[in-house]
Structure 1
Amino acid sequence: MFRLNQELSERWARRREVVQALAAAAAEGDRSENAEYIYRKKELRELDRRIRYLQKRIPDLNVVHDVPDDTGRVFFAAWVTLETEAGEEVTYRIVGPDEIDHAKGNISVDSPLARALLGKMIDDDAIIRVEDGRKQYYILAIDYRSP
C-alpha cells in the first residue's frame, strides 16, 4: 500500500507540472495545430485516469501482516520455490494484482500459476494449461518470510 500511496503523490506532483505546461502551450495561440497542447491534454487525461483509479483502489486494500496458521500450505503472500519440468528452480511470491513485479518474482493471486498453487503443500504438483499443452511444477519449499 505504501508504494501505491507514493505513486499517488507522485502523480499529483506530475499533474501540477503538466497543468503548468498545458497552460503555457495554450497561451501560444491556435490549439488545433499545437502539438505541445495536444500532447499535454492527452498526458493530463492519462494522469487523471490513474489518479481516479488509485483513489478508488487504495481505501479498499487490505494489507496482510499475519502468517497463516498452516504454513505448510500455499496461501496469499507465500514465497513458493518450484521445480519446472526442465529441472530449473524458480521462486515466486503470490501477491495482489497491484503488486505484480516479474523482476522480483511477484505473481498475481489471479494468475493461472498462483491459482494452481493455492492450498498445495510441499511435494505437490501444480499443473497449468498453456496454449501448447500444459506445464507442471513441483513444489520444493513454501515460506512466508522473504527468502
Structure 2
Amino acid sequence: MKTKLVTREGFNALKAEHDYLWHERRPEVTKIVSWAASLGDRSENADYTYNKRLLRQIDRRVRYLRKRLNDLTIVDYAPEQEGRVFFGAWVEIENEAGDTKQFRIVGPDEIYERKDYISIDAPMARALLKKAVDDEVVVSTPEGEKQWFVNTITYPKPSDSDAQ
C-alpha cells in the first residue's frame, strides 16, 4: 500500500500533468485518431493503431491521476519540523567510509525520474524519521545492516507561489 502523502510541489506537478494530458495532449491525439479513422480501412492504418493505443494510455493515466489526486494528503512545511527529519526534508547522510548521499524524503508519486528523491516508504527514509543532525542511523539492507550519520537536515521554505 502506497503512502498517501505528497509535498505541495509534488501535488502541483501531478495536477499539471493531469491538466496537460486532459486539456492539451488528449485533444491532439483524438484529432489524429479521427483523421486516421476517416481514411477508411483501420486494420492496416498505422496512424490509427498507434494513436488509438496512445489515447488508451493517456486515458488510463488521467483516470489514475484523478483518483490519486483526490486521495493524496498534502504535507506542507511546518517550523516545528526544524532540526529533525520528517516528510519533505532534504537530508545529507555519511557512512564511516566517508561516502555521502543527499536526497529528499517525499511521497511515492514524486520519485519518478528523480535520482535525488526517495519515497517515505523506503527503508532508508523510515530509519531516518525523527533523527537529528549527528544521529546514527542503522538501515537494514539485503547485504546486512548499514550505518549512516546525519550531516544536515533542511526544508524547502514555502514560497508565495506554492501557497495556492
TM normalised by structure 2 equals: 0.77
What does residue range 50-65 of structure 1 map to in structure 2 within 5 Å?
50-65=61-76
What does residue range 1-147 of structure 1 map to in structure 2 within 5 Å?
1-12=11-22, 13-67=24-78, 69-100=80-111, 103=114, 105-145=116-156
- Offset of residue 86 of structure 1: 3.5
- Offset of residue 101 of structure 1: 5.2
Q: Which moved more, 1:102-111 or 1:86-95?
A: 102-111
Unaligned runs of 5+ in 2: 1-10, 158-164
- Offset of residue 59 of structure 1: 2.3
* 1-structure distance, mates of 2:113, 2:66: 25
How many residue pairs get aligned? The number is 146
Deviations 1:107-136 (A, max 9, x none): 111112111211222222223333333433
Could you say if the C-alpha distance between residues 114 and 68 of structure 1 is closer, same or farther in structure 2, counting changes exceeding 3 Å? farther
Could you say if the C-alpha distance between residues 127 and 3 of structure 1 is closer, same or farther in structure 2, counting changes exceeding 3 Å? same
Higher RCO, Cα 8 Å, sep 6+: 2
* 2-structure distance, mates of 1:46, 1:19: 12
Q: Alignment partner of 1:140: what SS?
A: strand
The amino acid that maps onto 2:15 is N
Unaligned runs of 5+ in 1: none
* 2-structure distance, mates of 1:42, 1:27: 17
* 1-structure distance, mates of 2:114, 2:99: 17
TM normalised by structure 1 equals: 0.85
